[in-house]
Amino acid sequence: MRKTLYCFTHDLRLADNQLLQDAVDQSHEIAFIYVVDPLWFKPTNYQQLPMGAIRWQFTCQALRDLEVQLQSYGHVLNVVLGSPVNALTSLLKYAGFDTLAMANPIGLFERHQRNTVLKAHSRVALLTDWSHTLYTPAQLRSAQALPDKQQGWKSFSYFRKKVEKAGVLPFVAQAFNVQSFNARPVKSVDIESVIADKQSLSLLTQTQRVSLCQRDAAHPQDPIPCQADIGQPDKIQPSDSQSSNSHPSERQLNNRQLNHSPYQYRGGETAGWQHMLDYFASGAASTYKNTRNALDGRFNSTGFSPYLGIGNISPRQIYYHLKQYEQDHGVNESTYWIYFELLWREYFQWLALMLEQRLFRFRGLARSAPLTSFFPERFAKWCQGNTPYVIVNACMQQLNSTGFMSNRGRQLVASCLVNELGIDWRYGAAYFQQQLIDYDVASNWGNWQYIAGVGVDPRGGRHFNLQKQTQMFDPDGVFIETWQGRGDGASLDSVDMVDWPIMPEGER
């Protein structure tokens, strides 16, 4: 039997985690770790942090939830600060592990890190699984939806039609088999002694995790506290006052669209599972296509993306809850559109794997580079929500305050950055990576390529009329007023193209 080191990444859950089940079933001893890379909190070439404060808070909550669940089975979650390559290499070498269990990564950088570790430890067995996707490569190949590199990647429509025509079904989400969780925990000293000998590594307590990341540059001394102990997860029941068999009235739906109070997402499998149950119990799935473009409101969108991004819930779990909902309440265009959005997300996962470094390239898949550049002052005002476009300002203020933004809002602010401000799309993608609690490498960078016109879409980019969009989605200005989108009225540029000051209109 194996002595396994299980490294959690974007699979922070126990349920529907086949890799975890396999690792436990096949191991005599097992230890669990999560590696926090110090580079997450250092600026990139795009002047942004890979992990911003609000996103890190959400991650801390998810780690705490996982920690509590593992403790209930007599296991420990070791949260290690250090280079992932260094941490995994050291533990595999000095703690006597013969097996590494780790979900297949989607991101290019993460795949490179894992491959570096395996190359250094050729005798270590690898257990892995596709924990982040709706389908497996074998399923998509059988549907002829997953072309190889020689064929080139096809459009989303091609992918969707192939999958739907083949009738591909995700593997049934399995409940975690508690009875099989009998692998003995590796003694803590095995982990602690190795970490103690490495100056570049350290084990993080819950309090130490919180202090790693502070608020953005506007509030550099204001640390974000991670909410304290969430307690052991209880049996989850729908919390809505409505039963799962009832539907909201048209009046209730209209009121929901006008509810602009921000909904605060909480990280963790427990919270993610509860949110999924609450969403389907609300009946909102039956009207999703009508409300999905609203700029806020808890159930106007599904709100699944924060939990999908970090792996608190899986796309397979959502799929089968959706199918159960359709059995109970009927199939309509809105319920289909939830599946459509799952396929959209799925498409970008496999696209990212194929594109590799081209996902991050300025020109992407285009033959020529976009006619954009970088203007520091404009970019700063876009980030701060202080542009001449009030709908964009409100959306950016919402993002900076909550770590979340509606899908429509993301399209509008991305279009503004690229088309109105003329800025390199990668700076926007990097800022989203820093801020969004639902950050997903494939969806984020793939969707930004889509807006910028450097992706696989043959129609090119997307340029939204911001005035028209404001009239359509915030005609009464409630959203703009709520999120203080008016700005300070200052000019977008204070200097011209050769850095000469631009005088105010009345002083010329």
* 188 has binding-site annotation: no
Last residue of a domain, one of 82, 111, 131: 131
Residues 254-288 pLDDT 10s: 333 334 456 789 999 999 999 999 999 999 999 99
Q: How confident is the model at residue 246 (pLDDT cuts 50, 70, 90)?
A: very low
Q: How far apart are CA 254 and CA 481, in angstroms?
A: 19
Q: Is 11 annotated as ligand-binding?
A: no
The CATH number that applies at residue 385 is 1.10.579.10
Query: Does some domain include residue 361?
Result: no
283 is in an annotated binding site: no
155 known ligand binder? no
Mean pLDDT to the nearest integer, 421-445: 98
What is the token pair recorded at 467? 């005035």
Top-confidence residue, 2 or 430: 430
Same domain, 150 and 124: no
- Same domain for 142 and 27: no
Q: Is residue 325 over pLDDT 60?
A: yes
Residue 90 labeled ligand binder:
no
Distance CA 123, CA 2 (A): 13
Looking at the structure, do residues 497 and 405 belong to the same domain, yes or no? yes
Whether 407 and 304 have beta carbons less than 8 Å apart is answered as no
State pLDDT tens for residues 88-138.
999 999 999 999 999 999 999 999 999 999 999 999 999 999 999 999 999
pLDDT of residue 383: 97
User: Does 301 count as an annotated binding residue?
Assistant: yes
Ligand-binding site membership of 59 (annotated) = no
DSSP letters, 267-333, are -SHHHHHHHHHHHHHHTGGGGHHHHTT-S--TTTS---HHHHHHTSS-HHHHHHHHHHHHHHH---H
- Which is higher by pLDDT, 460 or 331? 331
The whole-number pLDDT of residue 178 equals 65
288 marked ligand binding residue: yes
pTM to 2 decimal places: 0.88
Is there a domain that residue 192 lies in?
no
Give pLDDT, residue 289: 96
Residue 167 has pLDDT above 70, yes or no: yes
Cα 397 to chain centroid, rounded? 19
Residue 223: the pLDDT is 36
Give the residue numbers spanning the domain of 393: 376-503
Q: Are residues 299 and 163 in the same domain?
A: yes
Looking at residue 156, which CATH number applies to its domain?
1.25.40.80
**Distance between CA 143 and CA 33 in Å, rounded?**
36
pLDDT-above-70 percentage for the chain: 84
State the average pLDDT for the chain.
Answer: 87
Q: Which secondary-structure segment (H or E) carries 410?
A: helix 407-415
Residue 185, pLDDT > 60, answer yes
**For position 218, what pLDDT does the model report?**
37
| Total of domains in the chain | 3
Instruction: Of 268, 275, 209, 206, give the one whose Cα is nearest residue 240.
Output: 275
Q: Is 439 annotated for ligand binding?
A: yes
CA atoms within 13 A on the CB side of 5: 28
Report yes or no on 186 lying in a domain. no
CATH number at residue 101: 3.40.50.620
Domain endpoint, select from 75, 107, 131: 131
